[in-house]
Structure 1
Amino acid sequence: MSLNIDQIAEAFCSHRFAETYPYMADEIKWNIVGREELVGREAVIDQCNQSAKYLETVSTTITKLKIYHAETRVVVEGAAQFQDQENQTSSVASCDIFQFLDGRLVEITSYNVEE
C-alpha cells in the first residue's frame, strides 16, 4: 500500500517514522530550527531511530494533529504530552513543513516549542 503525501506527513508526526522511510529522497534535508540541519537519507533515518528509541521510554499522548495541504507541501500543527518513568511530564507544540517532489519527501522544516 502506498501512502499519499498527507499520510506520509501524518505518519512522521505521529512518530511512525519507519513508515516514511521508503518515501524519503536520497538528498532529503531536515532542518530542526534552532537545533540542527540534517542532510541525506541516512542522517535523517538515524535521527528518527534515535527519537524512536527515546519514545519507547516515555508514554506519549498526541493532543493535536492538524494537517494542511497545499500542492507539494504539507503542514502539520501538532502538540504532545510525554510522561517519563518517574511520572515527570512535559509538553511540546510543533509545526512541521514537508516538501515533496514527484511523491518523494525532499525537505522537512520542524519548529518545536517546549511548553
Structure 2
Amino acid sequence: MATIQQVAEAFSAHRFREVYDFFHPDIQWILVGAAKLEGRDQVVAACEGSLQELARTTTQFLRFKTAAGPEVVAVDAIARYVDTKWKSTFVSSCDIYEFTQGALTKITTYTVEVDSSAVK
C-alpha cells in the first residue's frame, strides 16, 4: 500500500498510471488559470493525454521537494522538457494533493514556464 506522499510524488513525476487506483470517483483536478476537471474519467483522460505528449519529450527534474501532512501533500518541482527537435522548456510547478481516507480527492496545480537562467 502506497503512502499519500508516494501517490503524490508519482503523480507529480508523471507516473500517472501508478496512482489511478487511488483516485476518488469524484476527484477534482484544478489547473489554475487553465481548467477544472471533475470526476475520475476526466482526470484519467487528461493524464493519458499528457502521457501521449510526454512520449515525445525527455523530462529531467531539476528540483523535486515534498511537504507532507496527514491528509495533504505538496510537491514543488522544476522540470526541463526536451522535445524531439532538442528544444528545451523549463517549467516550475506546485501540486497540492488532498486525500480523504487514503483516496485522492483533489489536486490543485500551479505551473509557469520559466527562463533557464531562473533555474538554480
Counterpart of 1:45, as a letter, is V
Q: What's the offset of the Cα at 1:109?
A: 0.1
1:22 aligns with 2:56: no
Counterpart of 1:65, as a letter, is F
* Cα deviation 1:1-43 (Å, max 9, x = unaligned): x211000000001110001100000000000000000000000
Point out where structure 2 has 5 or more consecutive residues left out of the alignment: 115-120
Cα distance in 1 for partners of 2:35, 2:14 equals: 19
Counterpart of 2:54, as a letter, is L
- The root-mean-square deviation of aligned C-alpha atoms, in Å, is 0.5
Point out where structure 1 has 5 or more consecutive residues left out of the alignment: none
Cα distance in 2 for partners of 1:14, 1:67 equals: 12
Q: What's the offset of the Cα at 1:87?
A: 0.8
What SS does structure 2 have at the residue aligned with 1:28? strand
Q: Which runs of 4+ in 1 moved over 6 A?
A: none
TM-score by length of 2: 0.94
What SS does structure 1 have at the residue aligned with 2:108? strand
Counterpart of 1:74, as a letter, is V
Cα distance in 1 for partners of 2:87, 2:73 equals: 32
Counterpart of 1:64, as a letter, is R
**Paired position in structure 1 for 2:109:** 110
Identity %: 36
TM-score by length of 1: 0.98
Map residues 1-115 of structure 1 onto 2, 5 A cutoff: 2-115=1-114
Alignment size in residue pairs: 114
